[in-house]
Amino acid sequence: MQPNDPRDGTDSDREYNRRTILTGAGSLSIGGLLASSGVVSADDENGREPGPKEDELIVGISPSASDIEREALAAVPGDARVEHTNEVINYAVVSFPSEAPDFARETFIEAITANEYVEYAEPNATMESFVTPNDPYYGSQHAPSQIGCSEAWETTYGDGDVTISIVDQGIQYDHPALADNMDDSVPNHGNVFTGYGSDPYPVAGDEQHGTHVGGIAAGGTDDGTGHAGISNCSLLSARALDRSGQGALSDIADAIQWSVDAGADIINLSLGATSGYYTLRSACDYAANNGVLLVGATGNSGANSVAYPAAYDDVMAVTAVTSNDSLASFSNTGSRVDITAPGTRVLSAVPWNSYGRMSGTSMAAPVVSGVAGLVLSAYPDLSGSELRQHLKDTAVDVGLSSYAQGAGRVNAAAAVNTVPDGYDGEQGTGDEPQEDEQNDDTDDSDDSDGDESEGHLLAFVTEPDASLAEYEFTADGPVEITDAPYDSPSGRSIGGNGNDTITESDGTYRVSGLTGGGYGDAFRVDGAVTSIDIDQPDVMWVELEGEEKSVEEVIRETGGGPDEDENEDDGETDEPTCGDETITASADGTLDGSGWWGESDRYTYSLHTENPCSATLELEVPDKASFNLYVTLDGRRPSRWDYDESTSGDGEPITVSLEGDEQFGLQVHAVSGNSDYTLSIEELGL
């Protein structure tokens, strides 16, 4: 159980809803917040500070609000002001000085949310990218081959008329792998929603996330540059996250709305938060209602709940799997998952003109966005909802639960080469494949060509600064020295040399060798690899069919070790019982309810059992004080006016049935008295 923002003497970080709030305050005219004078739209905004905006509230306004600007602006307290409006998805942003007294904010909130034209008020919350720490290792790609891109590319590399918008950090749009695919229909290939100016170019070399995500979805394919993206579709850069990878809710909503109006067909959202917000939902609704496919990352906390916006019905939620289709350890899961994609050590472009690996659901989402671009290039009359369903219909079951994989792992080959159900529209090809395409895959499980389809291509590759590193392996079948059909990440060859030795005894082949300086050794192994020993694993790695693998993965996938079928049996007892797994959590605190506005503490709780079925929450408070507990189940911030369950501190528990995608929001509020309290949760799983 985790507390939210630190208490400052009153209820902090509160969400308000006009439909449930007490309406004792006087009415307020707010139609002018959407008028033109002194108020900007998402298209005209310039000069907002980048990143989080903790001293702001977002006020959602009914589309029926009349134009009464003067009264609205006059109603804003002297220590608050209207910072920004969005006239398309109907909201205004109001800021308070950080030193403003709490009662001023509370008075304004109660007044404005009592107005008939106000639909909600909520914090201008912070959202962030979903990436694990960057891995400086540079190496070969596995994502395109893992999802069958070679077969998809035989039909199309992607049409430049299909546009993917990356709502993220800025993209280095002159990167060699990206320059040819950047959308030229708008200045600077995008727009800025966090910070200053209108150029979304990264502000520093460590602002890598947006470029990396864009390179995965639509880095130049078959163009001779350093890596192949999933598609050759056009890219828009909607810079809504700052250099640190954080962004304000209003900036992200503006970026989504702008992307739709700029002509995006697909919007990639490799970002999010644990809670849902009305403003974010409105932006996603706007995109979906305009036929745009939204693709979102589920989050990287390993929780059994999908982060927002991926959890919304309008967004395709993507988890991450490893190169051997195991669930990535960091990936969030849940009942709202739609599909999965490779998300570990994915190679893509980074500033400046370089390449690097990153891991996260942030990387899995653009894999799906890129495949969606390929499909839309082949079947341009698909709607956003039809495109989403087709990706799910053609996904491949990799043996994970539906909470982990949704419909399965995205399959570019099947998605492009299978006509969608009921589709009778135009069929396109996008950019035609070149005749000298070096990959000619004919089966998802075999990435080799012609006569070399027999056996396994095994390679030992080194870092460019590595001195000579030794390796040894054994195999059950014949082994031959060969040349790999690709270079190392350093641009050096991967093939045999005079230091390689192969011996055979009783059908067991023993191979040893050494290499370094960015070079590698390659072998064709016609049998199972039974053991591998690398003396310097920090500078040498092993690849199977051009994909980096662990030693254990190589042995298992070539048939040299036992299959790992344990996951298929997990949780499949004959008669599972709720309570077979139990997890408890608790929090202690002290609150004062003697003042005009009682204090509150807030917490969030994510489910931890593998198959959640029930949870019981209890608030214990001494008789001398009166405290209440307010609970939400969908991650939104609870308040005394907006909650799903509630109880007082008299020991009466709350018990709720679980479906597995719940995210608890908890508020302990002091009604009267000054006292300690204990909040406890018991979660049961099957």
What is the reported pLDDT for 319? 96
Q: How are beta strands 163-168 and 266-269 bridged, if at all?
A: parallel
What is the average per-residue pLDDT within 316-327?
90
Q: 558-564: list long-range contacts, CB under 8 Å, 24+ apart.
A: 558/456, 558/475, 558/525, 558/527, 558/528, 558/529, 559/528, 560/475, 560/476, 560/528, 560/529, 560/530, 560/531, 561/530
Q: Which residues contact 233 (CB under 8 A, 6 or more apart)?
A: 158, 159, 160, 162, 163, 164, 181, 217, 218, 266, 370, 373, 374, 376, 377, 430
Pick the CATH number of 581-685 from 2.60.120.510, 3.40.50.10800, 3.20.10.10, 3.40.50.2300: 2.60.120.510
In whole angstroms, give the CA distance from residue 268 to residue 371: 12
Of residues 445 and 364, more confidently modeled: 364
Catalytic annotation on 487? no
| Annotated catalytic residue within 209, 212, 456, 669 | 209
Buried b (16+ CB within 10 A) or exposed e, 358-388: bbbbbbbbbbbbbbbbbbbbbbbebebebbb
User: At residue 670, does pLDDT exceed 70?
Assistant: yes
Catalytic annotation on 198? no
In whole angstroms, give the CA distance from residue 292 to residue 294: 6
- Inter-residue contact 559 to 475 (CB < 8 Å): no
User: At residue 57, does pLDDT exceed 70?
Assistant: yes
What is the average per-residue pLDDT within 303-315?
91
Q: Give pLDDT tens digits for 431-473.
A: 544 443 333 333 333 333 333 346 889 999 998 888 888 999 9
What is the reported pLDDT for 454? 64
Buried b (16+ CB within 10 A) or exposed e, 36-64: eeebbbbeebeebebbbbebbbbbbbbee
In whole angstroms, give the CA distance from residue 90 to residue 281: 12
User: At residue 15, does pLDDT exceed 50?
Assistant: no
Of residues 620 and 592, more confidently modeled: 620
Cβ neighbours, 10 Å, residue 665: 26
What is the average per-residue pLDDT within 142-154?
78
Q: Give pLDDT tens digits for 163-202.
A: 999 999 999 999 988 999 999 999 899 999 887 678 898 8
User: Which stretches does DSSP call E strand in 203-304?
Assistant: 234-239, 246-248, 266-269, 271-272, 293-297
What is the reported pLDDT for 126? 82
| Annotated catalytic residue within 237, 362, 448, 488 | 362
Confidence band for 355, pLDDT divided at 50, 70 and 90: confident
Catalytic annotation on 601? no
> What is the C-alpha end-to-end distance of the chain, expressed in Å?
21
Class of domain 129-417: alpha beta
| Annotated catalytic residue within 11, 13, 159, 168 | 168
What is the residue extent of each domain of the chain?
8-124, 129-417, 453-565, 581-685
Which pair of tokens denotes residue 420? 């969608």
What is the reported pLDDT for 518? 86
